[in-house]
Structure formats: C-alpha cells, structure tokens
Amino acid sequence: MNTKSAVPSVKRPNLVAVGTIVWLGSEVMFFAGLFAIYFTLRAMNPELWAEQTEKHNFTFALINTLILVASSFTAQAGVFAAERMQPRKANGKWGTVEWFYLTFFMGAIFVAGQAYEYATFVSEGITLASDPYGSAFYMTTGFHGIHVSLGLVAFLLVIGRIYAVKNFTHKEETTAVVVSYYWHFVDIVWIILFIVIYVLK
C-alpha cells in the first residue's frame, strides 16, 4: 500500500509586499541624501539657519504633524478591516473604505497645511532660490510633500478598486497592506524632518 508522506506547507512571503519593502529601502537612501544636503548647508551657514528657523510657526507645524501621524493609525485601522475581509461598513463597524477615506482627508489637510506654510514663507522672501536655507527647506519638505500626494492617489486607487470588484479577495487585502506600508514610511520620514527642521536649533 502506497502512502504519500505528508509534506509540510511552507508559507511564502507575499512578493508584492516584499517588493514594496525593497523599494522603500531605496527611498530611504534617497531621503538620506536629502538629509545629508540639509546638514551640509546648515553647517556652512549657521547664522542664516538661526535667523530663518525663527520664522517658523512651530505650533502650526506641530498640529499639522500630529494630523499626519494620526492618519497612520486610521490607515492601519483600514488594514485591520481588510484583514478581516470587511471592505465597507457593516454592523456599525467601519470597513477599509471608510478608514481610507478618513486617512485621505487627513493627508489632504497635511498637504494643504504645508502649502499654506510655503505661501507664508514666500511672503517673507524665503524661496527656493533666495538662500541656502530656502533651497534646503523646500527640497526636503517638497520631495516629502510629493510622496504624500502620491500616497493620497494610492488611497483613492485602492478605494476605487474595492468598489470595482464584485468580491473582496486577498489581492485587495494585499493592495491595502502595501499602501499602508508606503504611508507609514512617509509618516516616519516626516517625523524625522519635523525634528530636524523645527526642533533642532
């Protein structure tokens, strides 16, 4: 009598998630380069930095930062909903769509707040070409702002995909998880930026 030996199943990592993590690793190097530029210019112009950083509205920047940090928690709540295969609100409990809509709204507030801060700085004569501080400030925060905006587009695409499919599957769940990875990344980068630009004197 032939019996097949039981082969233990091996749970392989999701290739999409792994690829996203590898790509985010390259993004870490990109932002590390921006930080290097920032600190180099700062070391060469200490008096200018001391003068220009006094023009920041710390309270406004802190509130904007807290909104972005809070959006990481709402994004993760959306992931938890996806993991329990709940794309939309049911039994009084929010699904992935509702949590991601809230995350998008909070992220949009952050971008609008950053745009307001840019407008304030420009009115005070601080532009990308005005001096080394302006160049460093707009380069670091600007590239981060672009990443946040791309994240907002990604949330809309995930929401649209959920509405488009008939059945919510593990593919949709993976998409939600991957977007959350990206969002957590841009949040962490901003926390570091906030400390470097607004806290360290």
The overall average pLDDT reported for the chain is 89
Which pLDDT tens digit goes with each residue over 123-170?
A: 998 999 889 999 999 999 999 999 999 999 999 999 999 999 988 988
**Is 50 within the bounds of a domain?**
yes
Whether the pLDDT of residue 89 is over 80: the answer is: yes
120 vs 8, 56, 85, 114, CA distance in Å?
62, 9, 44, 10
Range(s) of the domain holding residue 83: 16-199
In a domain, 37, yes or no: yes
Whether 194 maps to a domain, the answer reads yes
pLDDT in tens, 7-58: 444 455 666 667 777 777 778 888 889 999 999 999 999 999 999 999 999 9
**Pick from 93, 111, 97: nearest CA to 156:** 97
In a domain, residue 191? The reply is yes
Residue 117 in this model has a pLDDT that exceeds 50: yes
Tokens 């980068």 map to which residue?
Answer: 189
**Mean pLDDT throughout 97-104?**
97
Q: What's residue 22's pLDDT?
A: 77
pLDDT above 50 for 197: yes
81 within domain boundaries: yes
Q: Does the pLDDT of residue 5 top 50, yes or no? A: no
Q: Domain count for the chain, please give it.
A: 1
- Identify the band that residue 189 occupies on the pLDDT scale cut at 50, 70 and 90: very high
Q: Identity (one letter) of the amino acid at 53? A: T
Tokens representing 14? 């999701």
Closest of 149, 187, 182, 190 to residue 16, by C-alpha? 182
Residue 4 lies in a domain: no
In a domain, 73, yes or no: yes
Provide the pLDDT for residue 17. Answer: 65
What is the CATH number for 112?
1.20.120.80
Q: What integer pLDDT is reported at residue 9 of this predicted model?
A: 46
Q: Which residues contact 68 (CB under 8 A, 6 or more apart)?
A: 106, 107, 110, 148, 187, 190
At residue 91, the pLDDT reads 87
Task: Classify residue 5: in a domain, yes or no.
Answer: no
